[in-house]
Amino acid sequence: MADQTTARILVASNRGPVSFSTAADGSLTLRRGGGGLVSGLSAIDDPNAVWVCAALGDADRAAARSAPDGRLDLAGFDVGGQAVRMLDIDPEVFDQAYNGVANSTLWFIHHMLYDTPTAPAFDQESADRWAGFRAYNAAFAEALAAEAAPGAAVLVQDYHLSLVPELLRELRPDLRIGYFLHIPWAPADYFRLLPDEWAVAVLTGVLGADRAGFHSRRWAEAFADCCERVLDATVDRAALTVGYRGRTTRLGVHALGADAEFLRERAHRPDVEERLAGLREAVGQGDSGPRRTVVRVDRTELSKNIVRGLQAYRHLLRTRPEWHDRVVHIAFAYPSRQDLAEYREYTAAVRRLSEEINAEFGTERWQPLILQVEDDFARSLAAYRLADVALVNPIRDGMNLVAKEVPVVSDAGCALVLSREAGAWAELAEDAIGVNPYDVLGTAEALHRALTLPAAERTERTKRLAAAATALPPQQWFLDQLAALSS
Ligand code: G6P
C-alpha cells in the first residue's frame, strides 16, 4: 500500500477519472473517463498527485473495497500512472448526497430549474438527505486530510463537494485549498430558496477555500452577492475577494477551453469518418441539392433546453416552408441521471415532440428530424464536422463545451446559435448568433439567420470562434489554478 501522507497535489471530485464494470467472468474491467478535468490533470507529471473520488456503482465499490484504506491498485490497467483513492461511501448516504441534494437541489438552484408554485418544498425527507450530504462531504474531507502531505495543494471540484473546503480546513489548516465550480451560481434571490441553514453551510463551505474558481466572471460575482446578502460578508468586487470571519477567499475566473489537439486528431479517425458517411446518407439530398444540417449534442438534461429547441425548429418549418426538404435537424440527446423522475419525464417529452415534428412535416423522401439517444462520441464528432448550424440553447450553463468544440472540428465552417445564458457566451458572443433560451420564436429566427449566413462570413466567424474556444486548453486551465493557489 502507498504511503498515506505523501500527496502534494490532490484533486477531489464526485466522479473520478476511472470507473469499473464487471465482466461476464466476474472480473473487473476499467474504463478511463474523458472531460476537461482528466486531460487537465494529465499536465501534472508528479508521482505524488492523487485523485480522490466516490465509488459510483457496484463494480466501483468492489474495486474500492479491494483497497480499503488507500489507493486503487491500477497496475495492469493503462491509466497513465494516475493514483486514485475511491471512497466506498454507504450506498444510501451516497444516494442522499448525489441524487437527493447535489442533483435534485443544488443543480436545480444554480440552473434555476424549479417550477416554484410546487417545488422545492423542504420537508423531513429533505432534512434526512441533507444529513447524508453532510456525511458524504465529511468522508471526502477525511480522506483528503489522510492523504495530503504538509502544505499540499488540494483542488476540490464542483457542487457535490461544496462543504469540503471548510471541513478540510478544520482538519488540516496547513493545506492550500482551491475550489472550482463547473456550473453557474444562482442569483441571490433564487439561492435563498434554500433553507437558511443549507444556504449558510454551502457558502461557508466554499469560503473554507483559499481560492474559489468559476468559469465566468458572472458566476463569481453571483457567488460574491450571495456571500454579502446571506452572510453579511465583506466583498471587494474589483479585487474579487470575499472576507468572512477574519479570513479572505480570493475568487478567480478560469474559462475552460476546448482541447484542440485532441479533438482534431480524434475527429479524423476511421470510426468518425465511417459515421460521417452514415450521417450524410441519412441527411440525404433534397430536390434542390444537398440539405443543410442543424446539429445539437447534449445530455438529455433539463438545463439544456432541448424541448424549446425542438419547438423552435418546428416553428421554423411552420413559418418558413422554403426550408421544407432543404434542412435536417440532427439532435443527439444522450441519457442522463435516469434515477431522477424529472429526467425520465423530460426524456419522454423530447421523444414525443420529435415524433410529432416528423409526423407533421416528414415526406417519403425527407425526414426533417433525426433524434439519437444512444451515446456515441465518434458520431457526435462526425456531426460536429458536418454541421451547418449548431444549436446550443441552454437555460443556464456553467460553460458549455459543445459550443466550443464544434467550431474547432467543423469541416466547412458552422454558424453557432448560442444562448446568452451559457458561460461560453462571455467569450463567443461576438461571432455567435445569440438567443434568449426562453424565446422560442426568437430561437426560430436565429436558426433562419444562421442557415442563411453567407458562406464567407460563416468561415470567418468559425475561425474566430475556434481561436476564442481554444484560448485556455484544459492543461493550462489546471496549471493556472495550481499556480494561483501558491501565489
Ligand atoms: C456536468 C456538469 C459538471 C458535473 C457533471 C456531473 O458535466 O457540467 O459540473 O460535475 O455534469 O455529471 P454526472 O453524470 O457525474 O452526474
DSSP structure string for 35-97: SHHHHHHTT---TTEEEEEE--SHHHHHHHHTSTTS----TTS-STT-EEEEE---HHHHHII
Higher pLDDT, 379 or 4: 379
pLDDT at 277 over 60: yes
pLDDT band, very low/low/confident/very high, at 36 (cuts 50, 70, 90): confident
In the predicted structure, residue 220 carries a pLDDT above the cut 90 = yes
298 CB under 6 A from ligand 1?
A: no
Separation of CA 158 and ligand 1 centre (Å): 9
For ligand 1, whether the C-beta of 182 sits within 6 Å is yes
Establish whether residue 304 lines the binding site of ligand 1, counting it when its CB lies within 6 angstroms of any ligand atom: no
Binned at pLDDT 50, 70 and 90, residue 77 comes out as: low
Sign for the CA dihedral angle at 84, 87, 91, 96 comes to negative
Report the distance separating Cα 306 and Cα 296, nearest Å: 9
167: exposed, middle or buried (Cβ count in 10 Å: 0-12, 13-18, 19+):
buried
C-alpha cell at 291: 440539405
pLDDT tier at 344 (50, 70, 90 boundaries)?
A: very high
Q: Answer whether 445 contacts ligand 1 (Cβ < 6 A).
A: no
R_g over Cα of the chain: 23
The whole-number average pLDDT for the span 351-360 is 98
Which SS3 state, helix, strand or coil, does residue 445 take?
helix
The set of cell numbers assigned to 364 is 417519403
Instruction: Show the cell assigned to 140.
Output: 471526502
Q: Say which DSSP state 422 is in.
A: B
The CB of 158 under 6 Å from ligand 1? The reply is yes
Give the per-residue pLDDT at 45. Answer: 73
Residue of minimum CA distance from atom 4 in ligand 1: 182
> In whole angstroms, what is the distance from residue 252 CA to residue 217 CA?
8
For residue 292, give the H/E element and its range. strand 292-299
pLDDT at 334: 94
Looking at ligand 1, which atom is closest to the CA of residue 98?
16
What CA–CA distance (Å, rounded) separates 444 from 403?
A: 18
**Mean of pLDDT values over 294-309:** 97
| 392-418 pLDDT, tens digit each | 999 999 999 999 999 999 999 999 999
- Give the model's confidence band at 76: pLDDT under 50 very low, under 70 low, under 90 confident, else very high: low
* Size (the chain), residues: 487
With 80 as the cut, is the pLDDT of residue 78 above it?
Answer: no
Write down the residue that cell numbers 433553507 correspond to.
195
pLDDT-based confidence at residue 487 (cuts at 50, 70, 90):
confident
- Within 10 Å of residue 129's Cβ, how many Cβ atoms? 21
> What is the CA(224)–ligand 1 centre distance, in A?
23
- Residue 379 Cβ contacting ligand 1 at under 6 Å: no
Which of 240, 260, 235, 265 lies closest to 250 in space, CA to CA? 240
Judge if the beta carbon of residue 102 lies within 6 A of ligand 1: no
pLDDT tier, 2 (very low <50, low <70, confident <90, very high otherwise):
very low
- From the CA of 35, how far away is ligand 1's center (Å)? 10
* Dist. CA 160 → ligand 1 center (Å): 9
Distances in Å between the Cα of 64 and the Cα atoms of 18, 53, 202, 345, 467 are 12, 10, 28, 33, 41
Q: Classify strands 241-244 and 234-236 as parallel, antiparallel or unpaired.
A: antiparallel
Q: Which of 168, 97, 88 is nearest to 132 (CA)?
A: 97
* pLDDT tens digits for range 83-99: 999 999 999 999 999 99
Give the pLDDT confidence score for residue 1 in this predicted structure.
40
Give the Å distances, CA to CA, from 338 to 68, 249, 398: 30, 36, 21
Question: Is residue 289 left, alpha or beta, with left meaning phi > 0 and alpha meaning psi from -120 to 50?
Answer: left
pTM (two decimals)? 0.97
- Pairing assessment for the beta strands 7-12 and 148-157 based on DSSP bridges: parallel
Q: What percentage of the chain reaches a pLDDT higher than 70?
A: 97
> Ligand 1: which of 182, 339, 400 to mutate, judged by most atoms within 8 Å of the beta carbon?
182
